[in-house]
Protein backbone atom coordinates (compact mmCIF):
# COMPACT_ATOMS: atom_id res chain seq x y z
CA UNK A 1 0.00 0.00 0.00
CA UNK A 2 1.16 3.51 -0.66
CA UNK A 3 0.84 5.43 2.63
CA UNK A 4 0.24 9.10 1.83
CA UNK A 5 -0.42 12.08 4.04
CA UNK A 6 -3.16 14.51 3.12
CA UNK A 7 -2.28 18.16 3.37
CA UNK A 8 -3.50 19.72 6.59
CA UNK A 9 -5.18 16.55 7.84
CA UNK A 10 -4.61 13.86 10.43
CA UNK A 11 -3.85 10.24 9.74
CA UNK A 12 -2.70 8.52 6.60
CA UNK A 13 -4.47 7.84 3.32
CA UNK A 14 -3.88 4.32 2.05
CA UNK A 15 -4.19 3.35 -1.59
CA UNK A 16 -2.55 0.80 -3.91
CA UNK A 17 -0.09 1.78 -6.57
CA UNK A 18 -0.34 -0.02 -9.92
CA UNK A 19 1.91 -2.95 -10.65
CA UNK A 20 4.90 -2.07 -12.77
CA UNK A 21 6.45 0.78 -10.82
CA UNK A 22 8.94 -1.63 -9.23
CA UNK A 23 9.04 -4.41 -11.76
CA UNK A 24 5.48 -5.44 -11.03
CA UNK A 25 6.08 -6.16 -7.34
CA UNK A 26 3.76 -4.83 -4.59
CA UNK A 27 5.38 -1.86 -2.84
CA UNK A 28 4.87 0.22 0.25
CA UNK A 29 5.89 3.88 0.34
CA UNK A 30 7.08 5.35 3.61
CA UNK A 31 4.97 8.29 4.81
CA UNK A 32 4.93 10.27 8.02
CA UNK A 33 1.77 9.99 10.09
CA UNK A 34 0.54 13.23 11.61
CA UNK A 35 -1.72 14.29 14.38
CA UNK A 36 -2.63 17.95 14.73
CA UNK A 37 0.12 18.74 12.27
CA UNK A 38 2.90 17.12 14.34
CA UNK A 39 4.84 14.01 13.25
CA UNK A 40 3.93 10.91 15.22
CA UNK A 41 5.95 8.14 13.61
CA UNK A 42 6.39 6.16 10.45
CA UNK A 43 4.21 3.48 8.90
CA UNK A 44 5.60 0.99 6.42
CA UNK A 45 7.04 -2.49 6.39
CA UNK A 46 8.86 -2.02 3.08
CA UNK A 47 10.17 1.42 2.15
CA UNK A 48 10.41 2.53 -1.49
CA UNK A 49 10.60 6.22 -2.38
CA UNK A 50 8.45 7.04 -5.42
CA UNK A 51 9.82 9.20 -8.22
CA UNK A 52 8.52 12.71 -8.80
CA UNK A 53 6.56 11.35 -11.74
CA UNK A 54 4.84 8.84 -9.47
CA UNK A 55 3.91 11.56 -7.01
CA UNK A 56 2.58 13.76 -9.81
CA UNK A 57 0.35 10.93 -11.04
CA UNK A 58 -0.95 10.24 -7.52
CA UNK A 59 -1.67 13.90 -6.87
CA UNK A 60 -3.42 14.17 -10.24
CA UNK A 61 -5.61 11.19 -9.38
CA UNK A 62 -6.64 12.91 -6.15
CA UNK A 63 -7.47 16.08 -8.10
CA UNK A 64 -9.55 14.02 -10.53
CA UNK A 65 -11.50 12.46 -7.66
CA UNK A 66 -12.03 15.89 -6.11
CA UNK A 67 -13.35 17.22 -9.42
CA UNK A 68 -15.91 14.43 -9.33
CA UNK A 69 -17.01 15.59 -5.88
CA UNK A 70 -15.70 12.52 -4.07
CA UNK A 71 -14.22 12.44 -0.59
CA UNK A 72 -13.31 9.98 2.13
CA UNK A 73 -13.35 6.29 1.31
CA UNK A 74 -15.08 6.92 -2.02
CA UNK A 75 -12.22 9.20 -3.07
CA UNK A 76 -9.62 6.69 -1.95
CA UNK A 77 -11.28 3.94 -3.94
CA UNK A 78 -11.54 6.19 -6.99
CA UNK A 79 -7.87 7.17 -6.80
CA UNK A 80 -6.89 3.52 -6.55
CA UNK A 81 -8.94 2.72 -9.63
CA UNK A 82 -7.54 5.66 -11.60
CA UNK A 83 -3.99 4.68 -10.83
CA UNK A 84 -4.71 1.13 -11.91
CA UNK A 85 -6.23 2.17 -15.27
CA UNK A 86 -4.82 5.61 -16.05
CA UNK A 87 -1.28 5.79 -14.68
CA UNK A 88 0.98 7.80 -16.98
CA UNK A 89 -1.62 10.18 -18.39
CA UNK A 90 -3.31 11.54 -15.26
CA UNK A 91 -0.74 14.26 -14.53
CA UNK A 92 -0.96 15.62 -18.07
CA UNK A 93 -4.77 15.76 -18.12
CA UNK A 94 -5.14 17.34 -14.70
CA UNK A 95 -2.16 19.63 -15.25
CA UNK A 96 -3.88 21.14 -18.26
CA UNK A 97 -7.02 21.80 -16.20
CA UNK A 98 -8.95 18.93 -17.81
CA UNK A 99 -9.78 16.77 -14.78
CA UNK A 100 -12.65 14.48 -15.75
CA UNK A 101 -11.96 14.58 -19.52
CA UNK A 102 -11.93 10.91 -20.47
CA UNK A 103 -11.01 11.49 -24.13
CA UNK A 104 -8.61 13.94 -25.67
CA UNK A 105 -5.39 14.80 -27.42
CA UNK A 106 -2.64 17.29 -26.72
CA UNK A 107 -1.20 17.58 -30.21
CA UNK A 108 1.66 19.79 -29.08
CA UNK A 109 2.89 17.17 -26.61
CA UNK A 110 1.88 14.14 -28.71
CA UNK A 111 -0.23 12.60 -25.96
CA UNK A 112 -3.59 10.92 -26.53
CA UNK A 113 -6.20 9.27 -24.33
CA UNK A 114 -9.58 7.58 -24.70
CA UNK A 115 -12.06 6.03 -22.23
CA UNK A 116 -10.51 2.95 -20.62
CA UNK A 117 -12.17 -0.28 -21.83
CA UNK A 118 -12.46 -1.58 -18.26
CA UNK A 119 -13.81 1.72 -16.91
CA UNK A 120 -15.15 4.26 -19.46
CA UNK A 121 -15.25 6.93 -16.74
CA UNK A 122 -11.43 6.81 -16.55
CA UNK A 123 -8.91 7.72 -19.26
CA UNK A 124 -6.40 5.34 -20.81
CA UNK A 125 -3.42 6.52 -22.83
CA UNK A 126 -3.42 5.38 -26.47
CA UNK A 127 -1.00 5.64 -29.36
CA UNK A 128 -1.10 8.26 -32.08
CA UNK A 129 -2.09 5.57 -34.57
CA UNK A 130 -5.09 4.55 -32.47
CA UNK A 131 -6.27 8.14 -32.03
CA UNK A 132 -6.04 8.83 -35.78
CA UNK A 133 -7.66 5.59 -36.90
CA UNK A 134 -10.40 7.54 -38.75
CA UNK A 135 -8.10 10.18 -40.28
CA UNK A 136 -7.85 10.30 -44.09
CA UNK A 137 -5.56 12.15 -46.51
CA UNK A 138 -4.66 10.49 -49.80
CA UNK A 139 -2.12 13.15 -50.74
CA UNK A 140 1.49 12.47 -49.80
CA UNK A 141 4.29 14.51 -51.38
CA UNK A 142 2.23 17.70 -51.62
CA UNK A 143 1.54 17.80 -47.85
CA UNK A 144 4.55 19.78 -46.71
CA UNK A 145 5.36 20.65 -43.11
CA UNK A 146 8.08 22.20 -40.95
CA UNK A 147 9.92 19.89 -38.57
CA UNK A 148 11.17 20.84 -35.11
CA UNK A 149 14.35 22.32 -36.61
CA UNK A 150 12.37 24.49 -39.04
CA UNK A 151 13.24 22.32 -42.06
CA UNK A 152 10.56 22.08 -44.76
CA UNK A 153 9.75 18.44 -45.50
CA UNK A 154 7.37 16.34 -47.63
CA UNK A 155 7.76 12.73 -46.52
CA UNK A 156 4.34 11.78 -45.15
CA UNK A 157 2.57 8.57 -46.06
CA UNK A 158 -1.05 8.50 -47.16
CA UNK A 159 -3.46 8.83 -44.22
CA UNK A 160 -0.64 9.94 -41.94
CA UNK A 161 -1.59 13.03 -39.91
CA UNK A 162 0.44 16.14 -40.63
CA UNK A 163 2.08 18.06 -37.80
CA UNK A 164 4.05 21.23 -38.31
CA UNK A 165 6.17 23.42 -36.06
CA UNK A 166 5.38 27.11 -36.20
CA UNK A 167 7.11 29.40 -33.75
CA UNK A 168 8.52 26.34 -32.02
CA UNK A 169 5.08 24.82 -31.33
CA UNK A 170 3.92 21.51 -32.78
CA UNK A 171 0.36 21.56 -34.13
CA UNK A 172 -1.92 19.29 -36.11
CA UNK A 173 -2.42 20.77 -39.59
CA UNK A 174 -5.75 20.34 -41.36
CA UNK A 175 -6.19 22.00 -44.75
CA UNK A 176 -8.69 21.71 -47.56
CA UNK A 177 -7.98 20.60 -51.10
CA UNK A 178 -6.03 23.35 -52.83
CA UNK A 179 -4.33 23.84 -56.20
CA UNK A 180 -1.10 25.69 -56.84
CA UNK A 181 -1.96 27.30 -60.18
CA UNK A 182 1.63 28.10 -61.15
CA UNK A 183 2.62 25.99 -64.18
CA UNK A 184 6.39 26.21 -63.79
CA UNK A 185 8.51 24.01 -61.58
CA UNK A 186 7.94 24.98 -57.97
CA UNK A 187 11.25 23.48 -56.84
CA UNK A 188 14.34 21.98 -58.50
CA UNK A 189 14.05 24.11 -61.66
CA UNK A 190 16.20 23.06 -64.62
CA UNK A 191 15.27 25.85 -67.03
CA UNK A 192 12.94 28.83 -67.42
CA UNK A 193 9.94 26.89 -68.71
CA UNK A 194 6.67 28.73 -68.00
CA UNK A 195 8.56 31.84 -66.78
CA UNK A 196 8.97 35.18 -68.52
CA UNK A 197 10.91 38.40 -68.07
CA UNK A 198 9.55 41.89 -68.50
CA UNK A 199 10.46 45.45 -67.67
CA UNK A 200 14.05 46.64 -67.85
CA UNK A 201 15.88 45.02 -70.77
CA UNK A 202 19.16 44.97 -68.84
CA UNK A 203 17.79 42.58 -66.22
CA UNK A 204 18.85 38.93 -66.45
CA UNK A 205 16.50 36.04 -65.63
CA UNK A 206 18.20 32.69 -65.05
CA UNK A 207 18.37 29.47 -63.04
CA UNK A 208 21.29 29.49 -60.60
CA UNK A 209 22.74 27.26 -57.91
CA UNK A 210 21.98 28.42 -54.37
CA UNK A 211 22.56 25.18 -52.47
CA UNK A 212 24.27 26.55 -49.39
CA UNK A 213 21.66 29.25 -48.77
CA UNK A 214 18.80 26.78 -49.33
CA UNK A 215 20.20 24.38 -46.74
CA UNK A 216 20.77 27.24 -44.29
CA UNK A 217 17.17 28.36 -44.85
CA UNK A 218 15.71 24.92 -44.10
CA UNK A 219 14.79 24.20 -47.73
CA UNK A 220 17.46 21.65 -48.60
CA UNK A 221 15.23 18.62 -47.99
CA UNK A 222 12.80 19.82 -50.71
CA UNK A 223 15.09 21.74 -53.05
CA UNK A 224 17.50 18.85 -53.49
CA UNK A 225 19.02 20.10 -56.77
CA UNK A 226 20.03 23.38 -55.13
CA UNK A 227 18.70 25.44 -58.04
CA UNK A 228 16.47 28.52 -57.84
CA UNK A 229 15.17 31.29 -60.08
CA UNK A 230 17.15 34.54 -60.15
CA UNK A 231 16.25 37.95 -61.58
CA UNK A 232 19.33 40.18 -61.50
CA UNK A 233 18.42 43.83 -62.06
CA UNK A 234 21.66 45.37 -60.79
CA UNK A 235 22.33 46.87 -64.23
CA UNK A 236 18.79 48.10 -64.68
CA UNK A 237 17.46 51.62 -64.25
CA UNK A 238 13.77 50.68 -64.02
CA UNK A 239 11.73 47.81 -62.60
CA UNK A 240 12.15 44.27 -63.87
CA UNK A 241 9.45 41.58 -63.83
CA UNK A 242 9.65 37.83 -63.19
CA UNK A 243 6.40 36.39 -64.53
CA UNK A 244 4.88 32.95 -63.94
CA UNK A 245 2.46 31.22 -66.30
CA UNK A 246 -0.76 29.99 -64.76
CA UNK A 247 -3.90 32.16 -64.75
CA UNK A 248 -6.38 32.55 -61.92
CA UNK A 249 -9.06 31.14 -64.23
CA UNK A 250 -11.81 33.01 -62.39
CA UNK A 251 -12.37 36.16 -60.36
CA UNK A 252 -12.66 34.53 -56.94
CA UNK A 253 -10.27 35.70 -54.21
CA UNK A 254 -6.65 34.63 -54.78
CA UNK A 255 -3.37 35.06 -52.94
CA UNK A 256 0.28 34.63 -53.89
CA UNK A 257 3.19 33.08 -51.99
CA UNK A 258 6.90 32.41 -52.52
CA UNK A 259 10.21 31.97 -50.74
CA UNK A 260 12.53 34.86 -51.58
CA UNK A 261 15.85 36.42 -50.69
CA UNK A 262 18.03 39.10 -52.29
CA UNK A 263 18.24 42.88 -52.19
CA UNK A 264 15.82 45.73 -52.70
CA UNK A 265 12.11 45.96 -51.97
CA UNK A 266 10.33 43.36 -54.08
CA UNK A 267 6.60 43.22 -54.79
CA UNK A 268 5.02 39.76 -55.10
CA UNK A 269 1.57 40.14 -56.63
CA UNK A 270 -1.05 39.36 -59.21
CA UNK A 271 -0.56 41.08 -62.56
CA UNK A 272 -3.32 43.59 -61.78
CA UNK A 273 -1.92 44.23 -58.26
CA UNK A 274 -5.20 43.19 -56.60
CA UNK A 275 -3.29 40.80 -54.35
CA UNK A 276 0.19 41.96 -53.40
CA UNK A 277 2.85 42.06 -50.73
CA UNK A 278 5.94 44.30 -50.84
CA UNK A 279 8.93 43.34 -48.72
CA UNK A 280 12.52 44.55 -48.31
CA UNK A 281 14.54 41.41 -48.95
CA UNK A 282 17.50 40.16 -46.91
CA UNK A 283 20.20 37.63 -47.70
CA UNK A 284 18.28 34.87 -45.87
CA UNK A 285 15.47 32.80 -47.38
CA UNK A 286 12.01 33.60 -45.98
CA UNK A 287 8.44 32.77 -46.93
CA UNK A 288 6.19 35.65 -47.99
CA UNK A 289 2.50 35.70 -48.89
CA UNK A 290 -0.14 38.26 -49.73
CA UNK A 291 -3.61 38.72 -48.38
CA UNK A 292 -6.36 37.59 -50.73
CA UNK A 293 -7.49 39.91 -53.48
CA UNK A 294 -10.16 39.69 -56.17
CA UNK A 295 -8.61 39.65 -59.66
CA UNK A 296 -10.13 41.95 -62.25
CA UNK A 297 -10.01 39.29 -64.98
CA UNK A 298 -9.66 35.53 -65.33
CA UNK A 299 -6.22 35.71 -67.00
CA UNK A 300 -4.35 37.30 -64.10
CA UNK A 301 -1.02 35.61 -63.30
CA UNK A 302 1.59 35.84 -60.56
CA UNK A 303 4.66 38.02 -60.89
CA UNK A 304 7.52 39.50 -58.86
CA UNK A 305 8.65 43.09 -59.38
CA UNK A 306 12.33 43.83 -58.71
CA UNK A 307 13.49 47.46 -58.38
CA UNK A 308 16.42 48.93 -60.26
CA UNK A 309 19.65 47.73 -58.67
CA UNK A 310 17.94 44.82 -56.91
CA UNK A 311 18.48 41.07 -57.10
CA UNK A 312 15.79 38.47 -56.47
CA UNK A 313 16.30 34.78 -55.70
CA UNK A 314 12.92 32.97 -55.72
CA UNK A 315 11.72 29.41 -55.17
CA UNK A 316 8.48 27.60 -54.29
CA UNK A 317 6.12 30.06 -56.04
CA UNK A 318 2.41 29.62 -55.39
CA UNK A 319 -0.83 31.08 -56.74
CA UNK A 320 -3.81 29.92 -54.69
CA UNK A 321 -7.55 30.40 -54.95
CA UNK A 322 -8.04 30.87 -51.22
CA UNK A 323 -8.61 33.49 -48.57
CA UNK A 324 -5.22 32.68 -47.04
CA UNK A 325 -2.11 31.00 -48.37
CA UNK A 326 -1.27 27.54 -47.02
CA UNK A 327 1.01 27.49 -44.00
CA UNK A 328 3.58 25.61 -46.11
CA UNK A 329 3.83 25.60 -49.92
CA UNK A 330 2.28 23.09 -52.31
CA UNK A 331 5.31 21.80 -54.19
CA UNK A 332 6.01 20.13 -57.53
CA UNK A 333 9.05 19.75 -59.76
CA UNK A 334 7.15 19.24 -63.02
CA UNK A 335 5.71 21.78 -65.44
CA UNK A 336 2.13 21.51 -64.22
CA UNK A 337 -0.32 22.80 -61.69
CA UNK A 338 -0.37 20.71 -58.50
CA UNK A 339 -3.33 19.90 -56.23
CA UNK A 340 -3.15 18.84 -52.60
CA UNK A 341 -6.19 16.84 -51.47
CA UNK A 342 -8.18 17.60 -48.34
CA UNK A 343 -7.12 16.32 -44.95
CA UNK A 344 -10.06 15.08 -42.88
CA UNK A 345 -9.78 14.21 -39.22
CA UNK A 346 -12.75 12.27 -37.93
CA UNK A 347 -12.26 11.85 -34.20
CA UNK A 348 -11.80 8.30 -32.87
CA UNK A 349 -14.79 6.15 -32.00
CA UNK A 350 -14.02 6.34 -28.28
CA UNK A 351 -14.24 10.13 -28.37
CA UNK A 352 -17.41 10.06 -30.44
CA UNK A 353 -18.93 7.74 -27.84
CA UNK A 354 -18.40 10.44 -25.20
CA UNK A 355 -20.02 12.99 -27.51
CA UNK A 356 -23.04 10.73 -27.96
CA UNK A 357 -23.84 10.63 -24.25
CA UNK A 358 -26.89 12.26 -22.69
CA UNK A 359 -24.63 14.87 -21.12
CA UNK A 360 -21.12 16.01 -21.86
CA UNK A 361 -18.62 18.77 -22.52
CA UNK A 362 -16.30 19.44 -25.46
CA UNK A 363 -13.25 21.69 -25.84
CA UNK A 364 -11.04 22.66 -28.78
CA UNK A 365 -7.93 24.86 -28.72
CA UNK A 366 -6.58 25.89 -32.11
CA UNK A 367 -5.10 28.59 -34.30
CA UNK A 368 -7.61 29.21 -37.10
CA UNK A 369 -6.28 31.15 -40.12
CA UNK A 370 -9.66 32.65 -40.95
CA UNK A 371 -13.17 33.19 -39.67
CA UNK A 372 -16.54 33.05 -41.38
CA UNK A 373 -19.11 35.68 -42.25
CA UNK A 374 -22.53 36.68 -41.01
CA UNK A 375 -24.01 33.91 -43.15
CA UNK A 376 -21.26 31.26 -43.21
CA UNK A 377 -19.49 29.44 -40.41
CA UNK A 378 -15.98 28.06 -40.59
CA UNK A 379 -16.20 24.76 -38.70
CA UNK A 380 -13.62 24.06 -36.02
CA UNK A 381 -15.46 21.02 -34.66
CA UNK A 382 -18.15 19.58 -36.90
CA UNK A 383 -20.85 17.17 -35.78
CA UNK A 384 -23.46 15.17 -37.53
CA UNK A 385 -21.44 15.67 -39.93
CA UNK A 386 -22.93 18.92 -41.24
CA UNK A 387 -23.49 21.04 -38.12
CA UNK A 388 -20.83 23.12 -36.36
CA UNK A 389 -20.44 22.23 -32.71
CA UNK A 390 -17.81 24.96 -32.75
CA UNK A 391 -18.02 27.26 -35.77
CA UNK A 392 -16.40 30.62 -36.41
CA UNK A 393 -19.01 33.10 -37.53
CA UNK A 394 -16.42 35.88 -37.35
CA UNK A 395 -13.29 36.77 -35.43
CA UNK A 396 -15.58 37.83 -32.59
CA UNK A 397 -18.39 35.26 -32.72
CA UNK A 398 -18.46 31.49 -32.16
CA UNK A 399 -21.56 29.42 -32.98
CA UNK A 400 -22.82 26.07 -31.69
CA UNK A 401 -25.67 24.43 -33.59
CA UNK A 402 -28.25 22.92 -31.24
CA UNK A 403 -31.01 21.25 -33.23
CA UNK A 404 -30.55 22.09 -36.90
CA UNK A 405 -32.27 25.45 -36.51
CA UNK A 406 -31.60 26.84 -33.03
CA UNK A 407 -28.09 28.10 -32.40
CA UNK A 408 -26.03 29.27 -29.46
CA UNK A 409 -23.67 32.18 -30.12
CA UNK A 410 -20.78 32.90 -27.75
CA UNK A 411 -18.87 36.18 -27.82
CA UNK A 412 -15.14 35.50 -27.33
CA UNK A 413 -13.31 37.32 -24.59
CA UNK A 414 -10.49 38.07 -27.05
CA UNK A 415 -10.19 38.23 -30.83
CA UNK A 416 -9.81 34.72 -32.26
CA UNK A 417 -7.51 35.50 -35.18
CA UNK A 418 -5.18 37.63 -33.09
CA UNK A 419 -5.04 35.41 -30.01
CA UNK A 420 -5.95 31.88 -31.08
CA UNK A 421 -9.09 30.02 -30.07
CA UNK A 422 -10.22 28.16 -27.00
CA UNK A 423 -13.90 27.21 -27.29
CA UNK A 424 -16.03 24.87 -25.19
CA UNK A 425 -19.63 23.69 -25.15
CA UNK A 426 -21.62 21.54 -22.74
CA UNK A 427 -25.06 19.96 -22.75
CA UNK A 428 -27.52 17.86 -20.78
CA UNK A 429 -31.28 17.39 -20.72
CA UNK A 430 -31.81 20.90 -19.35
CA UNK A 431 -30.05 22.72 -22.20
CA UNK A 432 -26.63 23.78 -23.43
CA UNK A 433 -23.92 26.36 -22.84
CA UNK A 434 -20.98 27.65 -24.88
CA UNK A 435 -17.97 29.86 -24.25
CA UNK A 436 -14.99 31.11 -26.24
CA UNK A 437 -11.70 32.70 -25.18
CA UNK A 438 -12.86 33.23 -21.61
CA UNK A 439 -15.86 35.35 -22.56
CA UNK A 440 -19.30 35.21 -20.99
CA UNK A 441 -20.95 31.78 -20.96
CA UNK A 442 -23.91 31.75 -23.36
CA UNK A 443 -26.78 29.44 -22.45
CA UNK A 444 -29.91 27.97 -23.97
CA UNK A 445 -32.78 25.84 -22.67
CA UNK A 446 -32.46 23.84 -25.90
CA UNK A 447 -29.97 20.99 -25.75
CA UNK A 448 -27.82 19.65 -28.59
CA UNK A 449 -29.73 17.02 -30.53
CA UNK A 450 -28.25 13.48 -30.55
CA UNK A 451 -28.08 13.56 -34.35
CA UNK A 452 -25.73 16.52 -34.27
CA UNK A 453 -23.55 14.63 -31.80
CA UNK A 454 -23.55 11.36 -33.75
CA UNK A 455 -20.09 11.93 -35.23
CA UNK A 456 -17.30 14.46 -34.82
CA UNK A 457 -14.72 15.97 -37.13
CA UNK A 458 -12.01 18.55 -36.60
CA UNK A 459 -12.56 21.09 -39.36
CA UNK A 460 -14.59 19.80 -42.27
CA UNK A 461 -16.21 16.40 -42.73
CA UNK A 462 -15.94 14.16 -45.77
CA UNK A 463 -19.49 14.77 -46.95
CA UNK A 464 -20.30 17.83 -44.93
CA UNK A 465 -20.33 20.38 -47.72
CA UNK A 466 -17.98 22.73 -45.89
CA UNK A 467 -15.14 23.88 -48.13
CA UNK A 468 -13.50 25.67 -45.23
CA UNK A 469 -12.27 24.52 -41.86
CA UNK A 470 -8.52 24.87 -42.22
CA UNK A 471 -6.64 25.24 -38.99
CA UNK A 472 -3.69 24.43 -36.78
CA UNK A 473 -4.95 22.42 -33.81
CA UNK A 474 -3.43 22.35 -30.31
CA UNK A 475 -5.82 20.27 -28.22
CA UNK A 476 -9.21 18.58 -28.16
CA UNK A 477 -10.91 17.09 -25.09
CA UNK A 478 -14.29 15.71 -24.05
CA UNK A 479 -15.95 15.01 -20.70
CA UNK A 480 -18.70 12.40 -20.17
CA UNK A 481 -20.80 14.91 -18.22
CA UNK A 482 -21.75 18.57 -18.27
CA UNK A 483 -19.19 20.42 -16.16
CA UNK A 484 -20.10 23.58 -14.25
CA UNK A 485 -20.37 26.85 -16.17
CA UNK A 486 -17.37 28.27 -14.32
CA UNK A 487 -15.32 25.25 -15.38
CA UNK A 488 -16.48 25.67 -18.98
CA UNK A 489 -15.32 29.28 -18.92
CA UNK A 490 -11.99 28.34 -17.34
CA UNK A 491 -11.35 25.68 -19.99
CA UNK A 492 -12.40 27.82 -22.96
CA UNK A 493 -9.12 29.69 -23.44
CA UNK A 494 -6.37 29.41 -26.07
CA UNK A 495 -3.66 26.83 -25.45
CA UNK A 496 -1.04 27.94 -22.94
CA UNK A 497 2.36 26.20 -23.17
Q: Is residue 140 part of a domain?
A: no
Q: For position 176, what pLDDT does the model report?
A: 85
How far is residue 235 CA from its own chain's centroid?
Answer: 46
Q: Given 281, 309, 340, which residue is the final one in a domain?
A: 340
Q: Given 34, 68, 99, which residue is the final one in a domain?
A: 99
Q: Given 77, 99, 121, which residue is the final one in a domain?
A: 99
- CA–CA distance from 345 to each of 14, 147, 195, 218, 435 (Å)? 43, 21, 38, 28, 23
CATH number of the domain that residue 359 is part of: 2.60.120.200
Indicate if the pLDDT at residue 430 is higher than 90: yes
**Strand, helix or coil at 490?**
helix
Examine the domain organization and report whether 81 and 217 are in the same domain.
Answer: no
* 172-181, 186-195, 318-327, 457-466, range with the lowest pLDDT: 457-466
Average pLDDT over residues 482-496: 98
Element (H, E) at 53: helix 52-67
Q: Is residue 402 part of a domain?
A: yes
In this prediction, residue 469 has a pLDDT band, given cuts at 50, 70 and 90, of low
Q: Is residue 479 part of a domain?
A: yes
Q: For position 221, what pLDDT does the model report?
A: 98
- Look at the chain and report how many structural domains it folds into: 3
Picking from 125, 147, 156, 146, the residue whose alpha carbon sits closest to that of residue 57 is 125
In this prediction, residue 50 has a pLDDT band, given cuts at 50, 70 and 90, of low
What does the radius of gyration of the chain's CA atoms come to, in whole angstroms?
A: 27
Picking from 40, 179, 95, the residue whose alpha carbon sits closest to that of residue 497 is 95
Q: Is residue 122 part of a domain?
A: no
Strand partners, 304: 242, 268
Give the structural domain span for 42. 2-99
Examine the domain organization and report whether 335 and 195 are in the same domain.
Answer: yes
Examine the domain organization and report whether 296 and 192 are in the same domain.
Answer: yes
Examine the domain organization and report whether 190 and 298 are in the same domain.
Answer: yes
Indicate if the pLDDT at residue 285 is higher than 80: yes
Q: For position 484, what pLDDT does the model report?
A: 97
Examine the domain organization and report whether 365 and 473 are in the same domain.
Answer: yes
Examine the domain organization and report whether 330 and 185 are in the same domain.
Answer: yes
Dist. CA 455–CA 432, nearest whole Å = 18
* 171-175, 203-207, 456-460, range with the lowest pLDDT: 456-460
Element (H, E) at 82: helix 72-86
Examine the domain organization and report whether 82 and 193 are in the same domain.
Answer: no
Examine the domain organization and report whether 334 and 351 are in the same domain.
Answer: no
- The answer to whether residues 253 and 322 touch, using CB atoms and an 8 Å cutoff, is yes
Element (H, E) at 215: helix 211-216
269 phi and psi angles, rounded to 5 deg: -165, 170
Q: For position 386, what pLDDT does the model report?
A: 83
Q: For position 159, what pLDDT does the model report?
A: 95
Indicate if the pLDDT at residue 40 is higher than 80: no
Dist. CA 272–CA 174, nearest whole Å = 31
Average pLDDT over residues 4-31: 39
Examine the domain organization and report whether 230 and 357 are in the same domain.
Answer: no
Examine the domain organization and report whether 311 and 446 are in the same domain.
Answer: no
More confident residue, 495 or 33: 495
Examine the domain organization and report whether 450 and 364 are in the same domain.
Answer: yes
More confident residue, 58 or 2: 58
Q: Is residue 144 part of a domain?
A: no
Examine the domain organization and report whether 323 and 452 are in the same domain.
Answer: no
Amino acid sequence: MNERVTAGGDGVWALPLPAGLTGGQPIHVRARQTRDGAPSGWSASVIVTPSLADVAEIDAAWAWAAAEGLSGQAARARVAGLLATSYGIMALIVGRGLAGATAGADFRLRRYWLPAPADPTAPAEVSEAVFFAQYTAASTSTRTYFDAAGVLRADLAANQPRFSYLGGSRRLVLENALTNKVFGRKHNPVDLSQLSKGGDAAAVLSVVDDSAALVAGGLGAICTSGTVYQLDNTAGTTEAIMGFSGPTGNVNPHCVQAWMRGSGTVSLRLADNTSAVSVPLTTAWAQYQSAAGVPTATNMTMRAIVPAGGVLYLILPGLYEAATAPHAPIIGDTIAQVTRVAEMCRLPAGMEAVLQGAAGTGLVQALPPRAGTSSTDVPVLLGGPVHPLIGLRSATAVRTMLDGAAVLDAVPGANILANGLGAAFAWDASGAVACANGGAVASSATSILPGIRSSAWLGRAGGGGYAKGDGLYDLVAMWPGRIANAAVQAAAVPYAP
